[in-house]
């Protein structure tokens, strides 16, 4: 074998080794997903290297994906699209052109991205909002909240809450021809977290007279206490959202102090004085048997109280909606929760389903056995997957029936 052939062979082996990631057998388009995941891993490695050199923050590099995916607010034959503000909070507004004799439905959508990346103008979110507005003949408001690490909790929550509260005024709803009895709040991943937290907070706000009809939470992140759930263990190195990245997202939401990230990575970030909160996320009681598999529940290993005192946000229900008492769940609207089998956040959503049902809230749980986290991000070329379209269709179909 010649030198050139040998070099080509070695290069091919190295590329194959880098690209290859074990993908569950029940996932379709496995090789395409491998290539997409290799792209994500490459960006992550560049981010780590840039941060190590002191050139850029890790999340600034990841934001490059958001920038590349940016799409302008261009109207089409079905939907009028504009970038606007509601009470000084930016949002992308989608108004269907279809004539209607009555008032329209409305969907407030909150994008994902670990509170650090993402945006309403990303092509997948823009397309999803267009589909929703057109198929439901609904007004869609896609919220553009501020991001970490420049802004930490509770800024993200407050941005969303400010917009939602403003929009729910009867005068504003009338301006856009929206039926006050047919409004949904929805979001994916970190956006699902914010949607759930806002829905809870609205229940205690006496100034808000209009009630949400439904909430839709798509593979949401809902708790900060136990980052060693069965789903975290089963999917520690699965595509798109490995445990290490989710831990980084959680810690960056509250601070750039790496000591919180390190404590969360070892699941020793909660002090003994907060032990009473673990009953809200005790997976041995809240997960159906098929999701427990061979995992055995172990009592928490407590950490220093310093982190909880310095960064109390990670114990705040506005950041972790599963941490509220059952009485705070009463009065929530009909809820749709979509979870993915191959996702570290799977058990967060499932535990919320269990707790809501226990207090009598009507819940529709759509669990997708062959899905990964972030499925909705894969509905545009060249990274479109059949899975992404299937998840989007399930979500929009449920909205159309129930809103």
> Of 370, 285, 274, which is closest to residue 314 (Cα–Cα)?
274
The proportion of the chain whose per-residue pLDDT surpasses 70, expressed as a percent, equals: 95
Output 204 or 25, whichever has higher pLDDT. Answer: 204
Backbone angles phi, psi at 88, to 5 degrees: 75, 5
**Residue 323 is encoded by which pair of tokens?**
């941490």
Per the annotation, the verdict on 276 as an active-site residue is no
Pairing of strands 89-96, 138-143: antiparallel
Confidence of residue 31 (pLDDT cuts 50, 70, 90): confident
- What pLDDT score does 382 carry? 87
CATH T-level fold of 74-223+313-402: Rossmann fold (3.40.50)
Per the annotation, the verdict on 299 as an active-site residue is no
8 Å CB contact between 133 and 109: no
Helix (H) / strand (E) containing 218: strand 214-218
**Residue 304 is encoded by which pair of tokens?**
């220093």
Cβ neighbour number for residue 306 with a 10 Å cutoff: 12
Is the pLDDT assigned to residue 4 strictly greater than 80? no
Is the pLDDT assigned to residue 6 strictly greater than 50? no
d(CA 345, CA 322): 13
The arithmetic mean of pLDDT across residues 189-204, rounded, is: 98
The domains of the chain are located at: 74-223+313-402
- pLDDT tens across 384-395, in order? 999 999 999 999
Which of 189, 231, 251, 274 is an active site residue?
Answer: 189
Burial class, 140, CB count within 10 angstroms (exposed 0-12 / middle 13-18 / buried 19+) = buried
d(CA 140, CA 396): 12
Per the annotation, the verdict on 204 as an active-site residue is no
8 Å CB contact between 179 and 104: yes
Helix (H) / strand (E) containing 80: strand 79-86
- What pLDDT score does 1 carry? 53
- What pLDDT score does 15 carry? 47
Pairing of strands 89-96, 79-86: antiparallel
Is the pLDDT assigned to residue 12 strictly greater than 80? no
DSSP-derived 3-state class of residue 79: strand
Query: What is the four-CA torsion angle of 61, 62, 63, 66, rounded to 10 degrees?
Result: 140
């Amino acid at each position: 074998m010649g030198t050139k052939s040998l070099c080509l062979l070695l290069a091919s082996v190295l590329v194959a080794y880098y690209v290859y990631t074990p993908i569950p057998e029940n996932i379709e388009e496995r090789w395409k997903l491998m290539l997409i995941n290799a792209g994500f891993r490459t960006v992550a490695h560049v981010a780590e290297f840039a941060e190590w050199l002191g050139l850029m923050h890790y999340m600034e590099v990841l934001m490059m994906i958001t920038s590349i995916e940016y799409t302008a607010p261009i109207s089409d034959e079905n939907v009028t699209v504009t970038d606007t503000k509601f009470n000084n909070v930016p949002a992308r507004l989608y108004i269907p052109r279809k004539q209607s004799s009555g008032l329209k439905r409305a969907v407030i959508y909150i994008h994902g991205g670990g509170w650090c990346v993402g945006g309403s103008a990303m092509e997948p979110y823009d397309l999803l909002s267009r589909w929703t507005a057109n198929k439901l003949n609904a007004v869609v408001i896609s919220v553009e909240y501020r991001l970490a690490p420049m802004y930490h909790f509770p800024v993200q929550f407050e941005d969303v809450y400010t917009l939602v509260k403003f929009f729910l005024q009867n005068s504003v709803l009338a301006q856009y021809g929206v039926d006050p009895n047919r409004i949904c709040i929805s979001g994916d991943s970190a956006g699902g977290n914010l949607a759930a937290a806002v829905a809870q907070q609205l229940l205690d706000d006496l100034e808000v007279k209009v009630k949400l009809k439904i909430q839709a939470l798509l593979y949401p992140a809902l708790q900060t206490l136990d980052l060693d759930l069965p789903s975290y263990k089963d999917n520690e190195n699965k595509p798109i959202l490995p445990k290490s990245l989710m831990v980084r997202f959680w810690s960056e939401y509250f601070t750039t102090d790496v000591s919180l990230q390190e404590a969360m990575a070892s699941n020793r970030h909660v002090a003994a004085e907060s032990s009473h909160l673990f009953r809200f996320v005790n997976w041995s009681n809240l997960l159906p048997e098929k999701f427990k598999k061979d995992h055995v529940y172990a009592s928490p290993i407590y950490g220093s109280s310093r982190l909880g005192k310095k960064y109390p946000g990670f114990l705040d229900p506005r950041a972790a909606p599963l941490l509220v008492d059952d009485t705070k769940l009463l009065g929530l609207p009909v809820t749709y929760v979509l979870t993915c089998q191959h996702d570290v956040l799977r058990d967060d959503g499932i535990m919320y389903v269990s707790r809501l049902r226990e207090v009598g809230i009507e819940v529709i749980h759509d669990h997708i056995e062959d899905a990964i986290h972030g499925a909705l991000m894969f509905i545009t070329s060249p990274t479109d997957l059949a899975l992404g379209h299937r998840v989007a269709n399930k979500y929009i179909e449920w909205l159309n029936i129930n809103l």
